[in-house]
């Protein structure tokens, strides 16, 4: 077998991993600690990691002090779900088209879709704002759902296309010869076989949609009833004194859904994110 690590090398590797993970995880740990501190302990000098009277009070008081917190969380979840459904509705047929059919301009179209990934939402914010205003979508869920989905569709198409290309075409051809219509094949042959791929795309899209709720929600909404959680928490900062323990508690609770999804499905998520790093 190939050479083992010496004891010194082992120590070095663990030390390196330790430093690396400290950088990655320290903010979460600090957020958790702050959420447990009473306000007068947060604003005390010198800085101490553990302070007196730590408790989960902020996790209860935040619901009173920010009455709409539930609503913000629901909005985040609802918008991300709608974005995912809308994106899947567009991604599944397109990915099939790109994977199986020959048509004029196919490669150019695929390239154009990928190019969308290069343009950030902030660049297009002016016409998007005017568009939303003109069609009356300002201050509606649609103003977050539509742009959210549009910017996530390209990655979805790319992921699902490479999945579909690995599926042998014999099944589709057999159904076609038996006289099934193309739409029937899509619904009854392709979608069942491609389900694992579709699930990966759905998870990746949901996480992306949940993670990126800031710019559109901030710009297209003035109604706090529609705020997703990040914009809702952003309101905390406008106050005279920032209630840091509640901000941190609300942030951590808001992170929980995606973190849970990630822990259970991390294998698929990583597979989705790293498609392309590995040559097939």
Partner 1 sequence: MQSLGGRPNIFPYLLLLPALIITLVIVAWPLVETVRLSFTDAALKPTENFVGFANYEKIFSKKFPEVIGRTFYWMAISVSLKMIVGTMGAMLLNSRVPGRDFFRVLVMPPWIVPIAIGVFIWAWMYNGQFGMISGVAQYLHIIAGPYEFLGDRTGAFYSTIVTDIWIGTPMVTIYLLAAMQSISPDLHEAAWVDGAGRMYRFRRITLPLILPAIATMGLLSAIWTFNSFDIIWILTKGGPRDATTTMIIDTYKTAISRNKYGEGAARAVMIVIFLSSFAGFYFFMLKQFAKRSLAK
Judged by CB under 8 A, the chain residues 183 through 212 that form the site for partner 1 are 185-186, 207, 210-212
Q: Which of 128, 159, 202, 226 binds partner 1 (CB under 8 A)?
A: 128
Q: Which of 60, 89, 184, 264 binds partner 1 (CB under 8 A)?
A: 89
Cα separation of 270 and 261, whole Å? 12
- Token readout for 129 is 């704002």
Least distance (Å) from partner 1 to the CB of residue 84?
Answer: 14
Determine if 54 is a binding residue for partner 1 (CB under 8 A): no
Least distance (Å) from partner 1 to the CB of residue 223?
Answer: 17
Instruction: Specify the residue, 67 or 179, whose C-beta has the smaller distance to partner 1.
Output: 179
Cα separation of 169 and 100, whole Å? 8
Cα separation of 72 and 78, whole Å? 10
Beta carbons within 8 Å of 33's beta carbon, 6+ residues apart:
49, 50, 54
Determine if 123 is a binding residue for partner 1 (CB under 8 A): yes
Determine if 146 is a binding residue for partner 1 (CB under 8 A): yes
Q: Which of 7, 8, 45, 50 binds partner 1 (CB under 8 A)?
A: 45
Least distance (Å) from partner 1 to the CB of residue 56?
Answer: 18
Instruction: Specify the residue, 121 or 140, whose C-beta has the smaller distance to partner 1.
Output: 121
Cα separation of 275 and 164, whole Å? 13
SS3 277: coil
Instruction: Specify the residue, 5 or 60, whose C-beta has the smaller distance to partner 1.
Output: 5
Cα separation of 249 and 34, whole Å? 8
Cα separation of 149 and 63, whole Å? 30
């Amino acid at each position: 077998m190939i050479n083992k690590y010496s004891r010194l090398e082992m120590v070095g590797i663990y030390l390196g991993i330790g430093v690396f993970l400290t950088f990655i995880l320290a903010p979460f740990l600090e957020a958790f600690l702050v959420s447990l501190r009473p306000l007068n302990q947060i604003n005390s000098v010198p800085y101490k990691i553990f302070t007196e009277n730590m408790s989960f009070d902020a996790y209860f008081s935040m619901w009173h002090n920010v009455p709409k917190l539930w609503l913000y969380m629901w909005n985040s979840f609802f918008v991300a779900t709608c974005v995912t459904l809308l994106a899947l509705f567009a991604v599944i047929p397109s990915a099939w088209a790109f994977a199986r059919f020959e048509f004029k301009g196919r490669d150019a179209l695929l390239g154009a879709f990928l190019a969308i990934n290069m343009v950030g939402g902030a660049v297009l914010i002016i016409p998007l704002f005017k568009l939303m205003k003109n069609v009356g979508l300002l201050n509606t869920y649609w103003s977050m759902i539509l742009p959210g989905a549009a910017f996530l569709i390209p990655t979805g198409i790319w992921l699902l296309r490479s999945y579909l290309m690995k599926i042998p075409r014999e099944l589709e051809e057999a159904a076609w010869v038996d006289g099934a219509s193309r739409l029937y094949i899509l619904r009854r042959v392709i979608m069942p076989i491609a389900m694992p791929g579709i699930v990966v795309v759905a998870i990746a899209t949901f996480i992306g949609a949940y993670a990126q709720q800031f710019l559109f929600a901030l710009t297209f909404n003035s109604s706090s009833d529609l705020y997703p959680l990040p914009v809702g928490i952003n309101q905390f900062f406008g106050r005279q004194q920032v209630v840091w323990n509640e901000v941190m508690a609300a942030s951590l609770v808001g992170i929980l859904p995606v973190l849970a999804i990630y822990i259970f499905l991390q294998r698929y998520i990583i597979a989705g994110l790293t498609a392309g790093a590995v040559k097939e």
